[in-house]
Amino acid sequence: MASDDTGEGGGAGIRKIGVIGAGQMGNGIAHVSALAGYSVVLNDIGQDRLDNALATIEKNMSRQVSRGTVAENESAAALGRISTSIDMAALADADLVIESAVENEQIKIDIFEALCPLLKPGALIASNTSSISITRLAATTDRPEKFVGMHFMNPVPMMELVEVIRGIATDRDTYARVTAVARRLGKSPASSEDFPAFIVNRILLPMINEAVYTLYEGVGNVEAIDTALRLGARHPMGPLQLADFIGLDTCLAVMQVLYEGLADSKYRPCPLLVKYVDAGWVGRKSGRGFYDYSSEPPTPTR
């Protein structure tokens, strides 16, 4: 155990990582974990989703190979370390499970209920939730002291930050080991206390929500709002483009958590954001949000 904790460039005794949810975040987490040398099992509710995730990982890794940031043999070895299963039992020997399923508290709770009895007693659980209380999720498991928030940024292979969030019960060993894993993934961890939406989204999502209000009130159209923030505030992406990228359903879920968790009307989700989500226009992943992605370049929908 001790040799594991210090060895393998900060492996912290973790060799096998389970990833639950193979969507845009889960496939990125599997990607960087495999490249860092971990053995990875990716789980989702349908084989088609797992096949899509593997295809995305292959495509993204081959892009890294063609850019020269990853060697061809490293990419091949990493792909060989990823297995997939729709059966959660495949995660039974994982040392760390990173849950990255949809941002829905009940779904996450159901996942932990099914997962915990399968896991080794010492296995750690992390959630990639953007906003849900780590303390509350941890309390639904059999190991609140081994439960932690590991909040990756999108797209995972490109973005350097991981917020590591301690629930009230998270023990020091879990926090230290998960921080070591984040470093081994090539990420810079930032520590956040467990309050609604943590640090990045507490600041970023109200800005996006305000951009949607600006659109709703007719202050500017999609193009004007995004151009204004790109050129006027030097943001690499406009807030509406960023919202589409994150997923409008995720944006709305985070605003609801802020609104309810901090009980302050300044966090009320914009009705136009709700309308887009109701329409199923949830951004890039559905082909349409504040932009329509069926043509290149994407065209604004307002």
Ligand X SMILES: NC(=O)c1ccc[n+]([C@@H]2O[C@H](COP(=O)([O-])OP(=O)(O)OC[C@H]3O[C@@H](n4cnc5c(N)ncnc54)[C@H](O)[C@@H]3O)[C@@H](O)[C@H]2O)c1
Q: Which stretch binds ligand X (CB under 6 A): 1-9, 19-27, 234-242, 255-263?
A: 19-27
Residue nearer to ligand X on the CB measure, 8 or 58:
58
Asked whether position 298 contacts ligand X by CB under 6 A, the answer is: no
Helix (H, G, I), strand (E, B) or coil at 298: coil
Tokens of 103: 């941002």
Size of the site for ligand X (CB under 6 A): 27
Residue nearer to ligand X on the CB measure, 64 or 100:
100
Asked whether position 95 contacts ligand X by CB under 6 A, the answer is: no
Whether 99 sits among the annotated catalytic residues: the reply is no
Residue nearer to ligand X on the CB measure, 27 or 39:
27
Asked whether position 194 contacts ligand X by CB under 6 A, the answer is: no
In the set 130, 133, 192, 209, the catalytic residue is: 130
Asked whether position 228 contacts ligand X by CB under 6 A, the answer is: no
Whether 105 sits among the annotated catalytic residues: the reply is no
Q: Is the dihedral of CA 27, 32, 35, 36 positive or negative?
A: negative
Residue nearer to ligand X on the CB measure, 13 or 82:
82
Asked whether position 61 contacts ligand X by CB under 6 A, the answer is: no
Residues β-bridged to residue 18:
41, 97
Q: How far apart are CA 242 and CA 220, in angstroms?
A: 17
Q: How far apart are CA 109 and CA 111, in angstroms?
A: 5
Site for ligand X in 240-259 (CB under 6 A): 246-247, 250
Among 26, 144, 167, 239, binds ligand X (CB under 6 A): 26
Whether 43 sits among the annotated catalytic residues: the reply is no
Q: How far apart are CA 108 and CA 243, in angstroms?
A: 23
Whether 113 sits among the annotated catalytic residues: the reply is no
Query: At closest approach, how far in Å is the CB of 293 from ligand X?
Result: 15
The CB-nearest residue to ligand X is 23
Cβ-Cβ contacts under 8 Å for 41 (sequence gap 6 or more): 16, 17, 18, 19, 82, 83, 84, 85, 90, 91, 94
Among 4, 15, 37, 45, binds ligand X (CB under 6 A): 45
Phi, psi angle pair for 259, to nearest 5°: -60, -50
Half-sphere exposure of 141 (CA within 13 A, CB side): 29
Q: From the centroid of its chain, how far is CA 160? A: 13
Task: Write the DSSP string, 128-141.
Answer: --SSS-HHHHHHTS
Residues that bind ligand X (CB under 6 A): 20-26, 43-45, 49, 100-103, 107, 111, 128-130, 151-152, 154, 246-247, 250, 285
Residues annotated as part of the active site:
130, 151, 163, 201
